Structure 1
């Protein structure tokens, strides 16, 4: 890869590719002998002295083996695949990939990544590509937590579902603990002495909608507060939805003193409406969000306390679960990962 404007004065020249033939010429042996050495297939066919001469030539010339070709020769894989329905357009996918990549590297594997843009045909093709490249296994990921049907191509390779829940028997899923997350968010507000706590939920049909509402109710009941269904609102989970729901909430004659928002985008819309009403956060209304989108939560004024989705940890645990399945652990499992609170200035 060259820098922009290559070809001009002082531009770096491309490094020549070193081949098996180059190594063979320098070491004074045949190409076949070099192939045996670099693929660790020497056994008793190549003397120790010849092996050392080949390896010295490899080091001096900077020869790099083709990892895919080597895995095919040895029948062992150097790759773990991850297939996602959206990467470039979502704020969270990068954290899942980073967690998976770092854990894969710790075990000596390279992560192959495919973005399918939620296209079923592209998904099948991506998984088949992973199989063709002798991937050890495949992580199948969605950009938000939801239930999925396993792609048929996954039947041919060990797999783990990350950030999504598969209903197929024998499947393994690593997902956020939505119930406990909702409980954590609401408990933060209860802990500050609030009794009338609203919840602005999502209109989406998703495990997060159900789970966070359940956690909200559990936290209230654990504190001896009977949930008031008049304080539960639904909104499109975007800034506009939060703005509209806040208008309805603040119109109540006995309005709440605190609110838990389904996500940080909803909280952003609520902030706008609260300011228009001449109210102050947290003095007049304490607020806790969910997702911890730093581009939002850390830049609102006051900064927004939130509950983080544990995407990095989900990526790490996904790789660990996949390695366990490759090793023979076929236990059906759903692992729910704790969503930690991130405390700022809004409550």
Structure 2
């Protein structure tokens, strides 16, 4: 799906909507045709059995999440779970609790009464959580979160490696002074991406300069303000790595105001691969958050566990690949 999305210049979500014939989606006929042609060119066909659920006691996978609509990540992960489940004749039952403890307890109790193949417990932000009170023999896997002591299996993005890979792209392009605009330090994703940035510098034998690091809040305005501050340094960076694509939008605006060209004067790297990344001018080189693949792996882990297959690793870190465009 990543390859089809890149070929058609759309997001993974758009590919899924088109190839799963979601007629209610607000997509233009031209976009649908691009996706269909890209899938045909690459020989991609979603794997599914379709039809009735599998003839076994387990007919569904439960999916409990704190948020589903505030950002696209949980919905994309759910899409990965749904596709993998349906390929095995299983449906998915979804409950969003908005972090309400009483609602979560009720949701878990209701799901425990169903003929479950297993439960996916997902959070919109990657973080350490208290182990959910799961009173069912069905297996449980955590998606985009993890519990202390490995109480449950978990599937999370490889954020340190993603930050390292993004910085390495800039280093390989010849940059030696690389600014970094991070998100809020209280968030695990921000800490891990920064760690990857620092590791890449160390690997290339480049010094870490704290003046080149600015903390933002994931929103475009903070990317704009941090970029202005970085470019006001006596020795400004020749490349800026933004810890998410929305801050990169603000970075683009600040560089344009300063009369600087991307990537001729300053290269820009994003993170997330939001829909907007491909529509910036020039299109933004970024890092893909692999939520679809994470959801697919979580569902596969449950299906294997329910079938008594050999144990998988207790934590799976999924690669965050680079999406090369024109900003580096």
Shift of 1:216: 0.6
Give the corresponding residue for 2:18: none
Unpaired runs of at least 5, structure 2: 1-50
Contact 1:85 1:143 in 2 (8 A): yes
Q: Distance in 1 between matches of 2:88 and 2:277?
A: 35
Displacement of 1:274 in angstroms is 1.1
Once structures 1 and 2 are overlaid, which stretch shifts more, 200-209 or 230-239? 200-209
CA distance in 1 between partners of 2:288 and 2:300 (Å): 21
5 Å-filtered alignment, 1:94-113, equals 94-113=75-94
Query: What is the aligned partner in structure 2 of residue 34 from structure 1?
Result: none
After superposition, the C-alpha distances for 1:162-219 in whole angstroms (9 at most, x for unaligned) are 1111215431010000010001110110111001011111124122112111111111
Between the aligned partners of 1:204 and 1:86, the Cα distance in structure 2 is: 21
Change (3 A) 1:191 1:335: same
> 1: CA distance between counterparts of 2:148 and 2:215?
27
Q: Measure, in 1, the Cα distance between the counterparts of 2:165 and 2:303.
A: 31
- Partner of residue 126, structure 2: 145
Partner residue in 2 for 1:79 = 60
Q: Does 2:169 match 1:188?
A: yes
Q: What secondary structure, in the 3-state scheme, does the structure 2 residue paired with 1:249 have?
A: helix
Q: Is it true that 1:344 corresponds to 2:325 in the alignment?
A: yes
Q: Is the Cα contact below 8 Å between 1:150 and 1:168 reproduced in 2?
A: no
Deviation at 1:88, TM superposition (A): 2.4
Change (3 A) 1:154 1:330: farther
After the TM superposition, which residues 286-301 of structure 1 pair with which residues of structure 2 at under 5 Å, given as runs? 286-294=267-275, 296-301=276-281
Contact 1:124–1:152 (CA under 8 A) maintained in structure 2: yes
- In structure 2, the residue matched to 1:326 is 306
Say whether residues 1:173 and 2:154 are aligned partners. Answer: yes
Paired residues of 1:169 and 1:332 also in contact (CA < 8 A): no
Shift of 1:91: 1.4
Separation (CA, whole Å) in 2 of partners of 1:248 and 1:170: 43
Would the alpha carbon gap of residues 230 and 154 (structure 1) be closer, same or farther in structure 2, given more than 3 Å must change?
A: farther
- The yes-or-no answer on 1:226 pairing with 2:207 is yes
Superposition deviation, residue 136 in structure 1? 1.9
Cα distance in 1 for partners of 2:205, 2:307 equals: 47
Q: Deviations over 1:243-292 (max 9, x none)?
A: 11112111101000001111001111111111111111111110000000
Contact kept? 2:131, 2:151, Cα under 8 Å: no
Q: CA contact under 8 A between 2:112 and 2:135: conserved in structure 1? A: no
1:316-336, CA deviations, whole angstroms, 9 ceiling, x for partnerless residues?
100111123334556661110
TM-score, with structure 1 as normaliser: 0.75
In structure 2, the residue matched to 1:302 is 282
SS in 2 for 1:217: helix
**Counterpart in 2 of 1:26?**
none
- 1:281 and 1:302 in contact (8 A); partners too: yes
Give the Cα–Cα distance (whole angstroms) in 1 for the partners of residues 228 and 148 of structure 2. 39
1: CA distance between counterparts of 2:225 and 2:196? 23
Matches within 5 A, 1:1-347: 76-153=57-134, 157-294=138-275, 296-328=276-308, 333-347=314-328
Figure out how many residues of one structure are paired with residues of the other and give that number.
Answer: 277
- CA 1:154–1:224 in 2, change beyond 3 Å: closer, same or farther? farther
Could you tell me whether the CA contact under 8 Å between 1:127 and 1:138 is conserved in 2?
Answer: no
Q: TM-score, normalised by structure 2?
A: 0.79
Give me the CA root mean square deviation.
2.1
For residues 89-141 of structure 1, give each alpha carbon's deviation from its aligned partner in whole angstroms, at most 9, with x where no partner exists: 32122221111111111222111111222222222222222111222210001
